[in-house]
Structure 1
Amino acid sequence: MEVAISAVTGELVSRFISFLMNKHHSSRHALSEEKMVERLQQLLMRVHIIIEEADARYITNSGMMMQLKMISEAMYRGYSVLDNSRYQALEDSASFNEVSRSDSSSIGLHLAKRSRTTADKATRLKSHSALESLESAVANMKEFVVLLGGCERMSRRPYDVYLYTGNFMFSRHAEKQKLLSFLLQHNEPPGDDALPVLPVIGAAGIGKKTLVAHVCSDQRVRSHFSSILHLNGDNLFRILDHGKTMERMVLIVVDFVSDVADDDWKKFHSFVITMSRGSKIIIVSKLKRLARFGSVTPISLSVLSYDELRYLFKTLVFGSVDPTEHPRLVQIADEFAKVLHNTQGSLVPTNTLADALKRNLDVQFWRCILDKGLRMVKRNISMYGVSPNMLVRQGQPVDITDFALHPLSMIRCKTNVSVKEELPSVTFGELVADPSISIRPKQDFILISWESRIPLHNLFAHFVTNHAQDRHDGTTLLGRKRRGVPN
């Protein structure tokens, strides 16, 4: 009965979307910018409903996964254009009123009108393009929606909805479904010497562990396996300690920081088969060559597109606050997203900045932090030739003088231990809100950039040291190793 109802509902939604598309095609050239934005908003709302519904079901069809990825990309682009259109309308109105007050001459009004017309054309073209992308994405959604009604719904605990906005897995819809499908599919028949292995490959800080942790928290996954073991690739054979717990199907997640010898992997692989037939392995690493151990096609996580990153940043920084009430802040958020994307920003700096900015929804405060961030990026590129994000990934010191208003450098702590107890600690949000000495310890300290809200709640901490004494002829010597640096 539920499948039948879902199918009928899907048919109605599909027909309504088709109605909107046909109506749009018949009157496209007669549309005003206001009407176009309104229709874009309506179409985005309905596409968002479909994506949320798909995200709450188990999808095993690879074609549906590809279609879901395509429509989600079109949705994020549409949201970007929608916000830009709203801000452009506000800016045009403000500019026109300012010119009218300061210069009532026909020349001033003509220039304002001409500038506004040029901007309107650009915005209209982007709106047309976004509408076309959404139309193309939903053109064949009828079958998708009907098939979606036949997919099993995920069970959610009552408080999951409440926690969703703070502890959510953003985007990666197709990747999540592929990982779920791999884990829940039928196991290899007994006697086979092959063990299902799925590599999850992607750059540092891109969300590999977050994706795996999110899927492993699914109720069906947890009930499918007797236990879930998390291992470090540098110590594969620690699994021997879990021999007695591997009598049933076990999911093993191995995090590799460096490559592993083929012989060592074969020994590990053989041991798992011997101890627990029907188990599965997930490899998590930034090293593409580790994909050679996979038994299926790897999941490759790429950097979020600008539209995805922008949507994520805006969601994190505004939270429950309506962004339409702060159009100026939305524009500054766009500029933050551009900086993050241009510097190949990972999820860590994205969450770090959002956490700091949402403390104070003030235009001047946001603009000040943006200017400091731009200066910090330029300073580090000038000194080291690469962006701060790349320096962090390489384990190199980063100059944060522009944020702290004092000559300081930081280097990532390599372990996820309780570093808060080793030295005085300050969060990044506290530092940027008040960089004075009252907040910043006089001696070396730990800077907590961000703590993940999703289990395993990874802590991203940096050892910060005063390098004023290291300056010589305008050059900062950050390569010198200091005593007491957490490792």
Structure 2
Amino acid sequence: MEAAISVVTGELVSRFISFLKNKYNSSLSHAQSEKMEERLQHLLMRVSIVVEEADVRYITNSGMLLQLKMLSGAMYKGYHMLDTMRFQNHQESACFDKVRINDSSSNNLYLSIPFKRSRTKTEMDDKAMRLESDGALESLEIVVANMTEFVVFLGGCERMSRRPYDVHLYTNNFMFSRHAEKQKLLSFLLEHNDFHAPAVLPIIGGVGVGKKTLVAHVCADERVRSQFSTTLHLNGDNLLTVLDHGGTMFRMILVVIEFASDIGDDDWKKFHLFLIRMNKGSKIIIISKLKRLARFGSVQPIFLSVLSYDEFRYLFKTLAFGSVDPAEHPRLLQLADEFANQLHNKQGSLVAINTFSHVLRMNLTIQFWRCIFDKMTRHVKRNLFIHGAHPSVLMEQGLPVDITDFALHPLTMTSYTSNVPIKEKSPSVTFAELLADPSVRPEGDFTLIRYESRIPPHKSFVHFVTSRAQDTHEGSSSTLPGRKRRGVPI
């Protein structure tokens, strides 16, 4: 009996000492984390000042553009790490509070084996986070150490003039990121063309990555507007119709052409020769998702890919929280990461960012955000099950998308095209309204405004929604032929 008591006592003392040691190490780690957070915040402030200043300068040096891209990449990665560290510190503080509350209970001394495994996993997670934070901090320290020359050269770059109204637009409804791409497009438009033939710059990128927004943003620049007498926007499908209006085109013009499909080489030559005869010094911008149209470019194309995850996450967080400090909502900040990860996994559409962030900003509660996230997850799973493709892929291809989980009613959404004309008399509702309150859904078919851009060219993404309630009752929509629709409830 005495031997048993001795063993138990020894085990209790050993575990108590281990508990105190871990608590001390955690406190030490917490202090180190706070110090690293302060250092990271200081570096981010320095880098963000330089990036913001570079965004309002005319930069033509290719080396500076490359360094600007590295600066912005390190900056967004740093912001991601800063939020992660803040959430980690919040969790640790909550754990310490819980320990203090339960310190009076003797049960705290009896640390079970499952807790040991959990603690081991936590230690591994902490180690991984420390390595990641060290990497982010090191990246920032490197770019800060190497940006002295960049800042000196930046001071020699001409500053863009902005009117008060432009500044208001810039700080609220802004063109996010794309720093190097904006500068490259500006350089193309402002560069003197020594050749008689108009210079051609293709801008190639997927759906919703911001091609037209980039062009509209740069074309609003004062020097660009003064460079060209007019800006002509054309559609690739009826490109040759411009040949009938040659008498109205004088001086240098900027032609922006959006191609949804390829064009024959002969038709392009006709159009190109027409501009050569009409104007000297004119320029052409091609906008398309088709890489093969890059063959018409006279300069290297601008390929717009989706934003990096760190940029994507930063933009989503900024839009979702608005003027509210995210640090005040650590649990929402963690959930914002889940939203960003889910949205970025497939194409990383800027339309999706704006759509969901607008809804979430209206209600900053964990219950509401979790409800919207669950709807989005079920929406993806349902379309993968029914159509075998992600909803974003279906929309890009112009195929119907099931939105039952958003409306809590069997509905199918189809993008408006030339084959599906807009029905002016049909009732309309915005996606944000439908997502926040499904009861606003009109009876029968209706028009769904998924998103309306707040910045030029102010594009609207409009869809036609049809109800499948009748089909569901008859069983033609609720089940797939030869398959059971298990796990996808309406």
Is structure 2 residue 161 aligned with structure 1 residue 160? no
Is structure 2 residue 283 aligned with structure 1 residue 280? yes
- Name the residue aligned to 1:452: 453
Aligned pairs for 1:79-478 (under 5 A) are 79-98=79-98, 101=101, 104-108=107-111, 117-189=123-195, 192=196, 194-240=197-243, 242-414=245-417, 419=422, 421-436=424-439, 439-471=440-472, 472=475, 474-475=478-479
Would the alpha carbon gap of residues 440 and 120 (structure 1) be closer, same or farther in structure 2, given more than 3 Å must change? same
SS at match of 2:438: coil
| Aligned partner letter, 2:246 | G
CA distance in 1, matches of 2:433, 2:194: 52
Distance apart, 1:188 and its partner CA: 2.1
Of the structure 1 ranges 88-97 and 44-53, higher mean CA displacement relative to structure 2 is found in 88-97
| Aligned partner letter, 1:155 | S
Specify every segment of 5 or more residues in structure 2 that has no aligned partner in the other structure, as ranges.
1-28, 482-490
CA distance in 2, matches of 1:165, 1:419: 34
Of the structure 1 ranges 307-316 and 105-114, higher mean CA displacement relative to structure 2 is found in 105-114
CA distance in 2, matches of 1:119, 1:107: 24
| Aligned partner letter, 1:163 | L
Distance apart, 1:138 and its partner CA: 2.9
Distance apart, 1:282 and its partner CA: 0.3
Would the alpha carbon gap of residues 100 and 213 (structure 1) be closer, same or farther in structure 2, given more than 3 Å must change? same
SS at match of 1:164: helix
Distance apart, 1:420 and its partner CA: 7.9
Would the alpha carbon gap of residues 418 and 398 (structure 1) be closer, same or farther in structure 2, given more than 3 Å must change? closer
Distance apart, 1:321 and its partner CA: 1.6
- Checking the alignment, whether the CA contact within 8 Å between 1:416 and 1:460 is kept in structure 2 is no
CA distance in 2, matches of 1:30, 1:361: 28
Deviations 1:281-333 (A, max 9, x none): 00000000000000000000111111111011111111222111111111111
Distance apart, 1:415 and its partner CA: 6.2
Of the structure 1 ranges 441-450 and 162-171, higher mean CA displacement relative to structure 2 is found in 162-171
- Checking the alignment, whether the CA contact within 8 Å between 2:43 and 2:144 is kept in structure 1 is no
- Name the residue aligned to 1:52: 52
SS at match of 1:281: strand
CA distance in 1, matches of 2:345, 2:370: 18
- Name the residue aligned to 1:18: none
- Checking the alignment, whether the CA contact within 8 Å between 1:231 and 1:238 is kept in structure 2 is no
| Aligned partner letter, 1:85 | M
| Aligned partner letter, 1:46 | R
- Checking the alignment, whether the CA contact within 8 Å between 2:422 and 2:464 is kept in structure 1 is no
Superposition CA RMSD, Å: 2.3
- Name the residue aligned to 1:6: none
With normalisation by structure 1, the TM-score equals 0.87
| Aligned partner letter, 1:407 | P
| Aligned partner letter, 1:156 | R
With normalisation by structure 2, the TM-score equals 0.86
- Name the residue aligned to 1:71: 71
Would the alpha carbon gap of residues 30 and 465 (structure 1) be closer, same or farther in structure 2, given more than 3 Å must change? closer
Distance apart, 1:247 and its partner CA: 1.4
> Which structure has the greater CA radius of gyration?
2
CA distance in 2, matches of 1:75, 1:403: 35
- Checking the alignment, whether the CA contact within 8 Å between 2:240 and 2:267 is kept in structure 1 is no
- Checking the alignment, whether the CA contact within 8 Å between 2:427 and 2:447 is kept in structure 1 is yes
CA distance in 1, matches of 2:109, 2:49: 49
- Checking the alignment, whether the CA contact within 8 Å between 2:449 and 2:461 is kept in structure 1 is yes
Q: Percent identity?
A: 65
Deviations 1:434-472 (A, max 9, x none): 112xx1111100111110111221110111111133343
SS at match of 1:457: coil
SS at match of 2:209: coil
Distance apart, 1:121 and its partner CA: 2.3
SS at match of 1:32: helix
CA distance in 1, matches of 2:464, 2:379: 18
SS at match of 1:475: coil
* Alignment coverage as a number of residue pairs: 444
- Checking the alignment, whether the CA contact within 8 Å between 1:416 and 1:458 is kept in structure 2 is no
- Checking the alignment, whether the CA contact within 8 Å between 1:37 and 1:127 is kept in structure 2 is no
- Checking the alignment, whether the CA contact within 8 Å between 2:452 and 2:458 is kept in structure 1 is yes
SS at match of 1:376: helix
Of the structure 1 ranges 160-169 and 33-42, higher mean CA displacement relative to structure 2 is found in 160-169
SS at match of 1:200: strand
Distance apart, 1:178 and its partner CA: 0.3
Deviations 1:358-416 (A, max 9, x none): 11111110010001100110111111121111110010111111111111110111269
Of the structure 1 ranges 171-180 and 104-113, higher mean CA displacement relative to structure 2 is found in 104-113
CA distance in 2, matches of 1:476, 1:162: 52
| Aligned partner letter, 2:51 | I
| Aligned partner letter, 2:358 | D
